[in-house]
Structure 1
Amino acid sequence: MSDKAAFHEALAALTGQIAGRRLDRDLQTWLNQTHGQGSDAYRQLKAGCLAGVAQGWLCEREGGGIRYGRVFQADDALHRFSVDVVDMQDIAGPHHTHPLGEIDLIMPLEGDATFDGHPAGWCVYPPGSAHRPTVAQGRSLVLYLLPEGQIQFTR
């Protein structure tokens, strides 16, 4: 995956498989079994993220030691999911809630990086959940899928 259009297409194929499903532990299990670390989908999405960072269209902003950016707004092709990617190393991000839930793809880059205690792979937060996203034990890219792009940062 060498460009933004190809990345969008790959994400549209993925979101087509999860659209309409409940954001819960069953979805997390399915994602890790079907598209987890070692799968073609995981390798392609990680390669797309790395290419996007290198080309400057991913993680183009920086604040508080975190590189981040919304690469795609929620649209019909993405089945109403927005797409954000962050680059974090041994840091906790800002506390926020997920009105409609959040699906995260964890892609360690250095060390045995975890995201909220989860290793490489997928983590799903249900609607109404909240957290302070934390990468520990190294550096990781994390791709966020947010239904309707909804996220509420705590003041």
Structure 2
Amino acid sequence: MSPDTFRTLIAGVTRRIAARPLDQDLAGWLNAEYPASGAAWAELADACCTGVKEGWLCEREAGGIRYGRIFKALPETHGFSVDVVSMTDIAGPHHVHPNGEIDLIIPLTEGATFDGHPAGWCVYGPGTAHRPTVAHGSALVLYLLPEGAIQFTKQEAAA
């Protein structure tokens, strides 16, 4: 596995979703087309795990979260940027998805969830926001962001 091979693998997915609205119908379609029990999902998960192990994914670390943007929004990825994060029982920084966000959830610990979702896909529509949270262990999450758009927000200190 190399970054170029990884980009080609991701482009196989982004080609199929580039013209679709980011909504719950897309989440259902992704979970049907690339189910967590299927070979295509396993290939994507293995590629992410390999990239982390080889050091070309999640090459940065801050606040207990390993992360990295492997590709800016490119024509080859049909206008999606590609980020991968590695999280263990932690909530990440709050952010807004101006154009939406598509997440591939890869539990590394059996039962680990991302924002309450098990292995598979979740989709956030344009204008949504969250504090990404991995619970019940460790997980990798691959983020596809249309046009690479993300806006980190300042949160008020907890009272």
TMscore range, shorter length? over 0.9
Instruction: Write out aligned runs for 1:1-155 (5 A).
Output: 2-155=1-154
Q: Deviations over 1:38-95 (max 9, x none)?
A: 1222111111111101111000000000000001110001000000000000000000
Query: Which amino acid in the other structure matches residue 3 of structure 1?
Result: S
Instruction: Give the strand-richer structure, 1 or 2.
Output: 1
Deviation at residue 3 of structure 1 after TM alignment: 1.3
Q: Which residue in the other structure is 2:157 paired with? A: none
TM-score (norm 1): 0.98
Q: Which runs of 5+ in 2 are unaligned?
A: 155-159
SS of equivalent to 1:145: strand
RMSD, aligned α-carbons: 0.6
Query: Which amino acid in the other structure matches residue 44 of structure 1?
Result: E
Deviation at residue 105 of structure 1 after TM alignment: 0.2
Corresponding residue pairs, total:
154
Deviation at residue 111 of structure 1 after TM alignment: 3.2
SS of equivalent to 1:51: helix
Of the structure 1 ranges 122-131 and 111-120, higher mean CA displacement relative to structure 2 is found in 111-120
Q: Distance in 2 between matches of 1:131 and 1:41?
A: 28
The structure 1 segments of at least 4 consecutive aligned residues displaced by more than 4 Å after TM superposition are none
SS of equivalent to 1:110: coil
Deviation at residue 34 of structure 1 after TM alignment: 0.6
Q: Which runs of 5+ in 1 are unaligned?
A: none
Query: Which amino acid in the other structure matches residue 61 of structure 2?
Result: E
